[in-house]
Each structure stands twice: as structure tokens, then as C-alpha cells.
Amino acid sequence: MANPVLPSSGALSPLGLDAVRLSPGFWGDRVALNREVTIAHCQEWMEREGWIGNFRGERPRRGREFSDSEIYKLLEAMAWAGHPELPALAETVARAQEGDGYLNTRWSGSRYTDLEWGHELYCYGHLIQAGVARLRTHGPDQLTEVAVRAADHVCRRFMDDARTCGHPEIEMALVELYRATGAERHLEMARRFVERRGLPALGEIHLGRAYFQDDLPVRRAPVLRGHAVRALYLACGAVDVAVETGDEELLKAVEAQWERTVARRTHLTGGMGSRHADEAFGDDYELPPDRAYAETCAGVASVMLSHRLLLATGDARYADLAERTLYNVVAASVALDGRSFFYANPLAVRVPAEPRTGVAGHAVGGGLRSPWFDVSCCPNNIARTLASLAAYVATGSGGDVQIHQYTPGEIRQGELTLRVETGYPWSGGVRVRVLTGGSGRISLRVPAWATGATLRYGDSEAGRLVEPGYVGVERDWRAGEEVWLELPMAARWTYPDRRIDALRGCAAVERGPLVYCAESVGDEPPLAELAVVPASPAERPSEGTVELEVEGVAGSPDSDAWPYGSQPDGAPYRWPAGGSGTALRLIPYHRWGNRGPATMRVWLPVADAVHPVPEPEPEGDAHGTSPGSRSFS
């Protein structure tokens, strides 16, 4: 079966990618663009930058120490997409493999001398995932042989070693290879890599052991910490090992880590990571919108982790976070033309970025997508994720089908064939039409935000109210029957936990699964000086999407004096003459930055909450101070 993750047990069973066919729609369009544009874009850039040439022995070697992994991620994308260029690129890779299975264009000749930073095992992880993708979409060939030889080399070299790789990734890859081939040594190697981490298994580095999760054994860690992508990939591997070995304690440990990370270390968009210096999670509640790192790869990794936990437990909260992250990180990262990408995904950008065309540094402040990066992990990660996106849409076994993500398409399982018709995420109606009947349960996810959702099926006229979670209907389905889910799509204001200091006094707008933002192209409106009145947003359909309009109120900065005073800041937000604010247009966050350099913010100061709109002052005010007066010293 063709799917990136095929556990041998769990609450839910994946379907093959060919059993979920996406039609034109939000995700179907992006998957098609990825197949037709982004995959070739990535290949062209890696030729241009010499990263593919490294495998042909071209010297000097170019790219960073982990650039081999980018070719492997692209091979994985090509495998899921059925791309015709795969065999030629695989041939180039195969020629660089050494006789004992070793394969790395940077470290050949000085193998495993820097496990902390060398990324050799990390690179194998991506190679093995590409091999598994090829095996499951095509069957054994040159690429799958290269991957198995590399995995066997790793088993021989590291089974009885005490060390591991500074960047997790190989763990989940080895488990998946075990699932694909049944070779126990690959699972055992993965298990040992997970278990030895934190004992510790690596040397000291200046960023500290938590950076690469070597500070604590996985099963004892309370929360995800350190480098966000490393932490999330490791958690994926730990879930895979736990599921295949029946290790309930390990699975529960990762579930608890996920729960605390989501409660305290996750941005509204689903983005993870608050620190630029080490691309890391911050402390609990350290979630500054303008300094959010929220690397695209961390978003991809978070979706991968939530998906694994969903398969293991069947708990809708995992599909909820995957949805949030897919729409507001994965879809945001890639430009509407599929040819440029965000590496970091901040929730506020104060200064428009300078246009750029060539290779960008990866730790860019945000504001403008780049066609390529010096560390270009994100574009290929997007490519392989979109190429296998159908994996996240539905699961099923026997006569049962569970639909997790709503996008137009067809789903086949057992005797049932279903057509999903929906304008989601712009409209909330989801119609599931039975094309070929059968006996079983059709389950639909009601997202946590969807209070007031209704379900209707069979001959019933009125929908019945359904609670968030999964709602299922079991019967003998006949062709032509339908299930209707109606999700309430009114835009809603969202407020942060008060412990998130950087967001206090602000609110954001969401509609369905989408986070919205204000974007300012040029200078208007000046977002830094705007507050909003949290009244019901007005809807403005625009080019097949839905934009929103809220009431904005301009600030009145006193001066450029010392910005701290002995009184709370009472500077009023200014109501224009006539008494009402100005219309502030909000667009879906994932669409921002497609109209040129811009400023942007998701979290908006609330005029009423922090800065009361001033009433005309009564005569003889006892305090003698106006709301706007500040004392500066």
C-alpha cells in the first residue's frame, strides 16, 4: 500500500494514496501545483547550486554538510508524485554509494567523526524514507536497493555503539523500512537509537544537550524542547517504535509531551519554535508574534507527529492540530505560484522585506519568500508533504471510513466509494455522496472550534447538532445516499492565555480552520499604530476566497520620547471625526506576502481592552488627568 506511514497496529488504519483522489479545491490545487511546478523548481535549484553534482563527484563539493538529504527528500516527493525524473536522479545517487553501503558526499573519508553536527545518519533517514516511498509506489529498484544497503550498513556500524546522530530522523525511517520489508534489525536499530538518546549519546555542544534532545531519555522528558525540527522528528520516531514494540509507556510519554507543547509552546498558526538563535522551542508561554520562528519544517514535522498519534489513538485533537498547521504553516510557506518559500513563519512583520531573487540565508526575518536558501530544508519538505497529502485526508478499514480533512475528492475503502464535495475552508458545507454502496460506518471529524455543527443523512430533513470529535453514521449505504456536515463558518475572535506576555491585550480573528492577519502593502494602513474593536467581522468574498473586515482605530503616539512612564499607557486610540473607526481588511494568513513586500500582523491590540476609547471628559474630573497623559522622566 502506498502511504508514508503504515503502522502494524493502532486505532486507525491508513489508506493507500491512490484510494484518496483529490479533485480541484484547496488542497487538490496545491498538490497539482506541487507536482507540476515545485518538484521541478527544487531539482533545478539543486542542480544550479551543485548539490546534485556532489553525487557525481564534482569538486569542490558545494552546499552544507546535510545537503545530500535534500536530494533524498526530493526523491521521496518524486516517488509519491510518480515523477518521471526519479530513476535518473536515483542513478546519480546510487553511483556515489560505497561498497559497504556508506553514502555521504561530505564525510566520505572521515566517516562518523562528528556525529554531533555531521548529519550522516540524518541523511540516511531521508534516503531510507525515499526508498520506502519508491518501494510502496513502484516496487524494488535501484533506489530501494541503495536505501536498504545504507540501512544495513547503519545496523552493522551502530547496533552496539552507544552513540547516535545530532539530528534525529533516522529513527522513524528505520521503523518504516521495517514495516515495508519486515526485517527486524531495522526496528531494533531504531529502538536503540531512541533509547540511547539522553543517556547521553552525544558530546557536549555550546548550545547545550537539550538542543538535540540528549539531555533526557525520551520516555522521561516532560515536553518538547530544543531545536524544534529535531524534537519533533525524534518524537515521530519514538511513536513509531512504541507502536511496533507495544511500548505503551513510551507512547504515553510522547502524548504527554505533545499535550504540554500544544498547551504552552505553540503559536496560533500551529507553528512551533520561538528562538532564532538555535531554531528552538522557547520556554512555556514564550510565544512572541514578531519573533516567532515557526520554521516550515517544524510545521511539517508537527503534522507528521500529530498524524502518527492520530493513527495510534484515534483522538480528534491530533487531526485538529494537523489541520491548523496544514492551513496556516504548510500552505503559508509556499507562494501561490509554487516557486518561493518562507523558512520562518512569524505572526507579525514590522518592516517590509527587501526584494530578493537569489539564494537567501535561512534565518531571514520573514516578510518575503525566497526561491531557495543556503539551508534549503523547507522547500523539499513542502514538496514531499504535498506529494503525499492524501495520507492525511482519510483512514479506513473493513467497511469503515474516517474523514479527517475536508477537501473535494473521492475515497475508496472496501465496497464503499465516497465523493466529498465542499468549498471548505471558504464555506462550511461538506457533502459526502455514496457512489458505490456497502455496509459500514462513515465518520466525520468535527473540529474543536465548530460549536453548533450539524449532521444530516438519509431522509432526515433537519440536521442534528453534533459535538466536536468524530461523528459517525453506520448503515447499509446505497449508491446515491448522502451525509451532510455543516460546519459553522462565522469569523470569530480569539484571545490568548494571559500567561503569554507578548500577546496580552491582543486578539486575533479566525474563520473555520484559517487564521487571519492584517497585511499592509506600502504604508497603509500603519499596522504598528492600529487597534481593533472586536465586533463581528464583515465578510468580503474575493477571488474565490473570503476576506474579512474589522473596525480599526488609529493610535495617537504622544511623541518619540522615552516609551516607559510612571502611569499605565493611557494614550487613546483615535476615533476619526464622525465617530467611527476605519475599515481594516484581514486576509487569510496563508495568503500573506503574495502582493510584494508588506508588513503583517495576526495579533491585533484590542482598543476596548487595553486602551479604552475615551469618553468626552466630564467637567471637574477629580483626578485631573486625561486618559492620554503620560509622565516621562
Chain residues binding Zn ion by CB under 5 A are: 297, 377-378
The smaller minimum CB distance to Zn ion, of residues 122 and 424, is found at: 122
- Answer yes or no: are the C-beta atoms of 331 and 324 closer than 8 Å: no
And the C-alpha cell for 515? 487564521
13: closest CA among 391, 369, 346? 391
304: closest CA among 321, 328, 285? 321
And the C-alpha cell for 551? 473596525
Q: Identify the three-state secondary structure at position 505.
A: coil
The smaller minimum CB distance to Zn ion, of residues 377 and 604, is found at: 377
Q: How many angstroms separate the CA atoms of 109 and 628, rounded?
A: 69
Q: Which is it for the CA torsion 281, 283, 288, 290, positive or negative?
A: negative
500: closest CA among 348, 246, 207, 285? 285
CB of 449 to Zn ion, least distance (A): 28
Q: How many angstroms separate the CA atoms of 374 and 451, rounded?
A: 44
CB of 343 to Zn ion, least distance (A): 6
- Answer yes or no: are the C-beta atoms of 21 and 410 closer than 8 Å: yes
CB of 296 to Zn ion, least distance (A): 5
Q: How many angstroms separate the CA atoms of 613 and 611, rounded?
A: 6
DSSP 197-217: TTS--S---TT-GGGGT-SS-
User: Residue 248 carries which DSSP code?
Assistant: H
Q: How many angstroms separate the CA atoms of 410 and 426, rounded?
A: 20
User: Residue 544 carries which DSSP code?
Assistant: T
Q: How many angstroms separate the CA atoms of 84 and 35, rounded?
A: 11
The smaller minimum CB distance to Zn ion, of residues 280 and 489, is found at: 280
- Answer yes or no: are the C-beta atoms of 435 and 415 closer than 8 Å: no
And the C-alpha cell for 365? 526575518
DSSP 420-483: EEE-TTTS-EEEEEEEE-EEEEEEEEE-TT-TT-EEEETT-SSPEE--SEEEEEEEEE-TT-EE
Give the count of alpha carbons within 13 A of 245, CB side only: 23
CB of 613 to Zn ion, least distance (A): 43
Q: Which residue is nearest to Zn ion (CB)?
A: 297
CB of 354 to Zn ion, least distance (A): 21
Q: How many angstroms separate the CA atoms of 194 and 238, rounded?
A: 6
And the C-alpha cell for 76? 521521496
Furthest-apart CA atoms within the chain: distance in Å? 91
Q: How many angstroms separate the CA atoms of 579 and 133, rounded?
A: 61
Q: How many angstroms separate the CA atoms of 383 and 511, rounded?
A: 27
CB of 84 to Zn ion, least distance (A): 27
CB of 379 to Zn ion, least distance (A): 8
Q: How many angstroms separate the Cα of 518 from the Cα of each of 320, 374, 590?
A: 24, 30, 12
The smaller minimum CB distance to Zn ion, of residues 378 and 586, is found at: 378
Q: How many angstroms separate the Cα of 519 from the Cα of each of 31, 90, 183, 412, 576?
A: 26, 43, 52, 41, 21
And the C-alpha cell for 532? 481593533
